[in-house]
Structure 1
């Protein structure tokens, strides 16, 4: 168990950040699935910018790697264009 006040605070803040990161990552994954399942081009085109924004935010906060974000955006763009 931690003995210092700062260590206890670090434990609390790490847990809060972990939960926030998990929530944002899961929400983004669900949005990606929804976009991939979409068959309507109009709906996909309106959904695409918000999903890309979510992916960029995850990459900026180092929740996912920058290259993974680029790959996801590229695949989604190809999917939307193919509809």
Structure 2
């Protein structure tokens, strides 16, 4: 544990950001899984889940949580499965 006051603050802020990033990433992954599952089952709300998943993938890409190519790959997978 750091002794310097600014270093202590840095540890707490970095932990807060880490937790926020992990939560956003988990939310994105869950949305993608739900959208793919809804399409395979033929649910009525599959289009809504697809739109939500794409939105969350774009947000994760915009905040640099995932690479641009991974975002494109996920969106392509979602669109091809839901075509």
Shorter-chain TM-score category?
0.7 to 0.9
Which deviates more from structure 2 when the two are superposed, residues 15-24 or residues 36-45?
36-45
Cα distance in 2 for residues equivalent to 1:15 and 1:73: 29
Q: Shift in Å at residue 52 of structure 1?
A: 0.7
Confirm whether residue 28 of structure 1 aligns to residue 28 of structure 2. yes
Contact 1:58 1:64 in 2 (8 A): yes
Query: Is 1:74 aligned with 2:76?
Result: yes
Residues matched between the structures, number: 81
3-state DSSP of counterpart to 1:56: helix
State the 4+ residue runs in structure 1 displaced beyond 4 angstroms: none
Unaligned residue ranges in structure 2 (runs of 5+): none
Return the alpha-carbon distance in structure 2 between the equivalents of residues 45 and 32 of structure 1.
12
CA distance in 2, matches of 1:4, 1:49: 46
> 1:42 Cα deviation (Å)?
4.0
User: CA separation in 2, counterparts of 1:50 and 1:30?
Assistant: 11
